[in-house]
Amino acid sequence: MLNEPWSAPALMGLGLVFGLKHALDADHLAAVATITSEKRTLLQSGIVGAVWGFGHTIALLVVGIVVLLLRLEISDRLAAGLEFCVALMLVYLGGRALWRLAGGVRIHVHVHDHDGHVHVHPHVHDATETSHAHDSHRRPFAVGMIHGLAGSAALMLLIAASTPSPWIGLAYIVSFGVGSIGGMVAMSALVTVPSVLAADRFAGVNTVVRGVAGALSIGVGLALGYEIWNSPELF
Q: What is the tens place of the pLDDT at every residue in 123-169?
A: 555 444 444 445 567 888 988 888 888 877 666 666 666 677 778 88
- Cα 75 from Cα 69, distance rounded (Å): 17
Question: Domain for residue 8, yes or no?
Answer: no
Cα–Cα distance for residue pair 124/44, rounded to 1 Å: 16
Please indicate, yes or no, whether the overall pTM of this predicted structure exceeds 0.85: no
Mean pLDDT of the chain: 76
Interatomic CA distance for residues 159 and 36, integer angstroms: 32
On whether residue 114 sits in a domain, the answer given is yes
Give pLDDT tens digits for 178-209.
998 998 898 888 877 776 666 555 556 667 77
Domain count, the chain: 1
Residue 138 lies in a domain: yes
Query: Which of the 8 DSSP states describes residue 68?
Result: I
User: pLDDT at position 219, please?
Assistant: 93
pLDDT score recorded for residue 80? 84
Confidence of residue 11 (pLDDT cuts 50, 70, 90): confident
User: 153: domain range?
Assistant: 16-229
197 part of a folded domain = yes
In a domain? residue 27: yes
The better pLDDT of the pair 91, 26 is held by 91
Let me know if residue 40 belongs to a domain: yes
For 51-95, write each residue's pLDDT tens digit. Answer: 988 998 898 888 888 877 777 777 778 888 888 998 999 999 999
76 assigned to some structural domain: yes
In this structure, is residue 133 part of a structural domain?
A: yes
